[in-house]
């Protein structure tokens, strides 16, 4: 083994992202899931805000649980179910965030879609305090968080409409990927 190989051990791994399998060769064992998603798979979402677990921008789900992708080693996510904000499970919340104008610059929108989806899976009709608490871990640089409550209300209404239109109650619902354990505050916990 060369000296550089000992200093920079790398492994090949397979990531399952939004239902697709991606073999990723030569991943340094110190690389975060966020780094691999963005730099090796060229995904624009999740966002990279701080890379140290403080801003909440990089929220994804790992086996159905919210996780800060910058705090999860990529090797720890191998062969597990990774869902980025671009996954169809978050579409309702994504549309609600857009309709409410809750993220004008768009930077915090991906994390919001994940967080709102999981809030509504956990609590069907959250009040303003519960919403603020649930989304408090996401840093909005544009100070537009005043519109987040409206975004949650729109997502809740849209989800209700979908439920009314869905005659097959046993079918999959957005976010049905496993145990929901909100909040963003938990995002850094090892899954």
Q: How far is the first Cα of the chain from the last one, in angstroms, to the nearest whole number?
A: 32
Considering only residues 55, 72, 93, 159, which one is a binding residue for ligand FES as defined by CB under 6 A?
Answer: 55
Residue 67 as a binder of ligand FES (CB under 6 A): the answer is no
Residue 54 as a binder of ligand FES (CB under 6 A): the answer is yes
Structure tokens at 189: 């916990």
Residues binding ligand FES: number (CB under 6 A)? 21
Considering only residues 13, 43, 45, 56, which one is a binding residue for ligand FES as defined by CB under 6 A?
Answer: 56
Residue 133 as a binder of ligand FES (CB under 6 A): the answer is no
CA distances from 140 to 29, 158, 161 (A): 31, 24, 29
Q: How far is the CB of 116 from ligand FES (least distance, A)?
A: 13
Give a three-class secondary structure readout of 156-181: HHHHHHHHHHCCCCCCCCCCCCCCCC
Whole-angstrom Cα Rg for the chain: 17
Interacting residue ranges for ligand FES, rule: CB under 6 A: 48-51, 53-58, 68, 70, 103-105, 107-108, 140-142, 144
């Amino acid at each position: 083994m060369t000296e550089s190989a000992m200093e920079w051990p790398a492994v090949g791994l397979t990531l399952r992202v939004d239902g697709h399998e991606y073999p990723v060769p030569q991943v340094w064992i110190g690389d975060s899931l966020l780094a691999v998603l963005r730099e090796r798979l060229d995904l624009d979402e999740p966002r990279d805000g701080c890379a140290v677990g403080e801003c909440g921008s990089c929220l994804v789900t790992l086996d159905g649980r919210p996780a800060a992708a910058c705090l999860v080693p990529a090797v720890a996510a191998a062969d597990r179910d990774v869902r980025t904000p671009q996954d169809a499970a978050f579409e309702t919340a994504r549309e609600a965030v857009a309709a409410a104008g809750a993220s004008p610059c768009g930077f915090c929108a991906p994390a919001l879609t994940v967080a709102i989806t999981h809030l509504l899976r956990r609590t069907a009709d959250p009040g303003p305090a519960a919403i603020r608490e649930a989304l408090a871990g996401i840093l909005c640089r544009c100070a537009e968080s005043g519109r987040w409550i409206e975004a949650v209300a729109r997502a809740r209404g849209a989800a209700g409409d979908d439920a009314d239109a869905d005659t097959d109650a046993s079918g999959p619902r957005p976010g049905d990927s496993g145990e929901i354990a909100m909040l963003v505050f938990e995002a850094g916990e090892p899954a």
